[in-house]
Structure 1
């Protein structure tokens, strides 16, 4: 969007010198300019769209994968119908090469159909691609499986992801617009169950925000920031930051890396939120405020506070959760939910 401040930039990073500790410590978005400029796919993109497509086809193993198709009328925005009871696109299946062929057939169209291959695991359908197109997460002891996103001028409506994310623009250009997690109420999230891509998306059309219908979005704009990634650039998006992504060229390819900050035995928080909605949201206000105090004490406050006055052997779940305690909690919750 016009008028938003730029996201902070950092230069001189290379795939072998990924500053993960610094990025996580800062906890804010950062553009890593040119970090992937030596990738084979980026070099092919600089030669042209046909060369980039040929490069990708060279790794395609023919695996049939799901991709989104929308008619020209959706304007590149996979979204909802008028009453949010259905999506405005359909899911088809084909190989990466087939998706590229369909994109190629409409490169010159002013209003092409929408083609979007989203979050495809690179190693499963494009084996070998990582050899010349990768960031060195292994140097940090992390086994991160990258995903690839291929499409034309697609708009991914503003949404958040639970893991941390580094998104690397490989072909084309993409505009990112970001908002911090605390702006959730001002972004008017849509349905939780029916979503265009797995997460709730903002109901606000950032290309033409309707402030009469969504007046609090004006407050979100006060906290927004934006950038345009060129081939070879990457963007660090911290956990839970909202991001709107717009493909600006007839072919856009992005490779991203999601990774969590917690050990494997700590589950994703979303089921806990559903459980809280089920068990707490509709209670009388006095009860809700009482439970807010309990959550602040046991969950959102100092992690050591609730058990600090107890002997270590008596703390149980009030101590840091290890793998053994995680198994006990899981068994207890399953037993209670199954009553």
Structure 2
């Protein structure tokens, strides 16, 4: 894509308190330059990709890692093929064996795409997080690591807030506000490369004849180029296309949500609404639209105000116990 896009706002020299304040006050992405530049992993990468791999291997647990593998002809784009099936295959192996493949391919002009995506750090590494700490205050974050050859990941969004730290190689993020979902031409939600619906538009060569509204999405887009040690804050539901361009790339990211984890996943509610409501007659859909507004999108205060507090049930604000009862109720209803 030749169009020049405006950059994401940048902050520098953030300490723990500064990062906490920046995240707390942010409703748009920002880049924190050099936030994790002192990580041993980043320092190892400055010496060589092999040193970075050695640092990761020193902490890797003795278990199989999931790995996605694509052909050299894919150009690193992990996506659909012409039949809307995945253009990559999945495998498993010990990290030392996978990294041996990186070593062997280091000087080749054409290599297969190899991608270890969203690997849970605590489950698959011992002491890696403590060796490479992040100042995220009291946020209850899930840490994941992404390792691979050059890759292009189609624009998608995530429900949690996200702090993405470039540790090895280079990353370019192209970001779109949450309200651009119509203009991104999202693919199917039940057949996805990695669990989230992705834009069908190839950002490297947008076909505006096939996807004309993508031009409007581009008018809202921002770009962030990350070097090792830089971090990018991505607020909840912002769409992001991610391109890793070095022969060996490592990203560490942290996900958290401001709402309690005992609350449900909105995507599951959307999926169930598609099943239960979308194909109803129009007049019934309109009634359900009004009921969703009354019970959900308005905040639900009017729906509960005439009922005694002790009898409001799920109309009352949730705590862990009442959310657990609701989860159990839903599981029973889904099995019937």
The TM-score with structure 2 as length reference comes to 0.93
Q: Does 1:154 find its partner at 2:155?
A: no
Task: Supply the distance in 1 between the matched residues of 2:329 and 2:129 (Cα, whole angstroms).
Answer: 42
Equivalent residue runs for 1:11-22 within 5 Å: 11-14=12-15, 16-17=16-17, 19-20=19-20, 22=22
SS, match of residue 249 in structure 1: coil
Matched with 1:69 is: 69
Matched with 1:81 is: 81
Matched with 1:27 is: 27
Task: Supply the distance in 2 between the matched residues of 1:210 and 1:69 (Cα, whole angstroms).
Answer: 26
Matched with 1:179 is: 176
Cα deviation for residue 167 of structure 1 reads: 0.6
Q: 1:80 to 1:11 in 2, by over 3 A?
A: same
Equivalent residue runs for 1:74-223 within 5 Å: 74-84=74-84, 86-137=85-136, 139-140=137-138, 142-223=139-220
1:244 to 241, 244, 249: 241
Matched with 2:268 is: 271
Task: Supply the distance in 1 between the matched residues of 2:117 and 2:49 (Cα, whole angstroms).
Answer: 19
SS, match of residue 58 in structure 1: helix
Q: Does 1:325 find its partner at 2:322?
A: yes
SS, match of residue 26 in structure 1: coil
**Is residue 19–residue 135 contact of structure 2 (8 Å, CA) maintained in 1?**
no
Structure 2: segments with no counterpart, 5+ residues: none
Matched with 2:288 is: 291
Size of the aligned set, in residue pairs, is 335
Task: Supply the distance in 1 between the matched residues of 2:227 and 2:132 (Cα, whole angstroms).
Answer: 16
Task: Supply the distance in 2 between the matched residues of 1:6 and 1:232 (Cα, whole angstroms).
Answer: 18
Cα deviation for residue 46 of structure 1 reads: 1.5
Cα deviation for residue 194 of structure 1 reads: 2.1
Cα deviation for residue 131 of structure 1 reads: 2.3
For residues 193-229 of structure 1, the C-alpha deviation after alignment (integer angstroms, 9 at most, x for no partner) is: 2221121111111001111111111111111111101
For residues 273-295 of structure 1, the C-alpha deviation after alignment (integer angstroms, 9 at most, x for no partner) is: 11100111112223222222221
For residues 166-189 of structure 1, the C-alpha deviation after alignment (integer angstroms, 9 at most, x for no partner) is: 110000110001111111111111
For residues 48-68 of structure 1, the C-alpha deviation after alignment (integer angstroms, 9 at most, x for no partner) is: 223222222222333211101
